[in-house]
Amino acid sequence: MHKKRRRDLLKGIGAAGTIGLAGCIGGGDDGDDGDDGGDSDGGDGDGSDGDGGDGGDVETREIMYGVLMPETGDLGSLGGPIGDGARLVARQLESETDFSFDVSSSDTQTNPQTGISEANSLVDAGYPAVVGSASSNVNLQVTRQSFIPNEVVGISPSSTAPAVTQLDDNGYIFRTAPSDALQGPVIAQVAVEEFDASTVSTMFLNDNYGQALEESFVEAFRNEHDGEALERVSFEPEQASYASQLDTAMSADPDFLWIVGFPQSGIQLFRDFYNSFSEDFPIIVPDGLIDDTLPGEVGNPMTNVWGTAPAAGGAGAERFAELYQQEWDREPGVFNAHAYDAAACVVLANARAGENDGTAIRDNMREVANPPGTEITADNLAEGLRMAAAGEEIQYTGASSAVDFDENGDMKAVSYDVLRYQDGEAQVQRTIDFS
């Protein structure tokens, strides 16, 4: 295993990719060409067993975590910025505390098998917790075949498939992104409120993310709004044309079209749409297709396209956005804040545990995130790290939302932004609180 020291890993990881919302990146595959490991001999420090450190020289130890994101493949344009949210925590704390950080980044290529291989490389290198992966199609495989059997904490900022909740994970798997069991009803609500819609045709990526989110939406549209799904058309990623699938979906004359996919596929899909159908016909997309680079790539302003995505409106949102802009020279997109929160939680849990051990980190995740305790945000994260290491009660309140884990490692309540493409970017129109 090739090893890289902390500063080598952090130097030049950079802001690969473009601004986007990696949304639910509940699907896709995941690939491999990122950093493949790091130093696995980080100090254990003082304190252990999930009860918090006992003081002493706790602020001189090394904290380790991995970042497993798609920097290539269908989600390549989104994975880099999401990963930067996770890497930002180490950069921030490295300059504000005496702790040192060993952070290793790996590329899943949006491919499950590559994701498993890269996850195993992180595990073998001794990383006790990993922020990732992004898409559910990859995350479900990575968690089952790598993280859970090796007792490593996995926390995804963007894997939204409902199946993640049902994992037999012995408590090792968390996520700061909301389940699509929530987003489906939100999208149905938006369709009725914005378009007074009663019929829809759906197009969805043929993977765990696309299938589950489409089913969640259709169930809510039918049962809660008496809506009718006319045509339900699946598609494969990154095809040369989606004209036939679009023809099938639009032939039923729906009130609107709902599309679940990722940016690389979305470029061709929307090009095909605008070649054959009206630019005024309403379309709704979830977070996976909220990407500010999309209108330019498609060659259309896409003002008929609305979307939903988990909001970044937590107590630490403003400070996080400021830090992200300073570090990466661009504004954060959706799920970037969720990645920051995921990394903050594993770092705080690691400090409280007093060692780079997956089980000890698992046992302290709720101790540092859920109430009660002193509120910790991006504004006072360094102080929170010192308090956690000393075993004091803290409650991390995130940049994305309140980070309050339920018994499944899911968020208890979240907010969603309703967006619309305007002036070449996805702009927030309003926010919906949902629990």
Model pLDDT, residue 52: 42
Model pLDDT, residue 36: 36
> Please, what is the average pLDDT of the chain?
87
Q: What is the mean pLDDT of residues 177-194?
A: 92
Percent of the chain scoring above 70 in pLDDT: 86
Q: Is the confidence at residue 49, as pLDDT, over 70?
A: no
HEC assignment per residue over 375-434: EECHHHHHHHHHHHHCCCCEEEECCCCECCECCCCCECCEEEEEEEEECCEEEEEEEEEE
pLDDT tier at 3 (50, 70, 90 boundaries)? very low
Closest alpha carbon to 68 in 108, 110, 117, 23: 108
pLDDT tier at 423 (50, 70, 90 boundaries)? very high
pLDDT tier at 55 (50, 70, 90 boundaries)? very low
Model pLDDT, residue 330: 95
Closest alpha carbon to 368 in 176, 387, 354: 387
Model pLDDT, residue 59: 63
Model pLDDT, residue 74: 85
Q: Tell me: the pLDDT tens digits for 332-371?
A: 988 999 999 999 999 999 999 999 999 999 999 999 999 9
Q: What is the mean pLDDT of residues 260-275?
A: 96
Sign of CA dihedral 90, 94, 99, 103: positive
Model pLDDT, residue 252: 97
pTM comes to 0.79
Q: Locate the domains of the chain by residue range.
A: 62-178+313-414, 181-309+416-434
Task: Indicate if 181-309+416-434 has the same CATH topology as 62-178+313-414.
Answer: yes
- Please, where are the H alpha helices in 252-375? 263-276, 294-298, 317-328, 336-353, 358-369
pLDDT tier at 60 (50, 70, 90 boundaries)? confident
> Cα–Cα distance between 93 and 96 in angstroms, integer?
5
Model pLDDT, residue 151: 98
Model pLDDT, residue 32: 38
Q: Tell me: the pLDDT tens digits for 67-98?
A: 999 999 888 888 999 999 999 999 999 999 99
Q: Is the confidence at residue 281, as pLDDT, over 80?
A: yes
Question: 181-309+416-434, what's its fold?
Answer: Rossmann fold (3.40.50)
Q: What is the largest CA-CA distance in the chain?
A: 70
Sheet of strand 173-175: strand arrangement = 100-107, 62-69, 129-132, 153-156, 173-175
> Cα–Cα distance between 59 and 45 in angstroms, integer?
8
> Cα–Cα distance between 409 and 122 in angstroms, integer?
22
Residues 6+ apart with CB under 8 A from 41: 126
Q: What is the mean pLDDT of residues 228-246?
A: 97
Q: Tell me: the pLDDT tens digits for 97-136?
A: 999 999 999 999 999 999 999 999 999 999 999 999 999 9
Q: What's the distance, Cα to Cα, between the start and end of the chain in Å?
A: 44
DSSP conformation class of 130: E
- Residue 316 has a CB neighbour count (10 Å cut-off) of 27
Q: CA dihedral in degrees (372, 179, 221, 275; nearest 10)?
A: 130
Q: Is the confidence at residue 169, as pLDDT, over 80?
A: yes
Model pLDDT, residue 147: 98
pLDDT tier at 435 (50, 70, 90 boundaries)? low
Q: What is the mean pLDDT of residues 253-261?
A: 97
Which class is 62-178+313-414 in CATH?
A: alpha beta
pLDDT tier at 25 (50, 70, 90 boundaries)? very low
Q: Is the confidence at residue 8, as pLDDT, over 70?
A: no
Model pLDDT, residue 180: 87
Q: Is 186 helix (H, G, I), strand (E, B) or coil?
A: helix
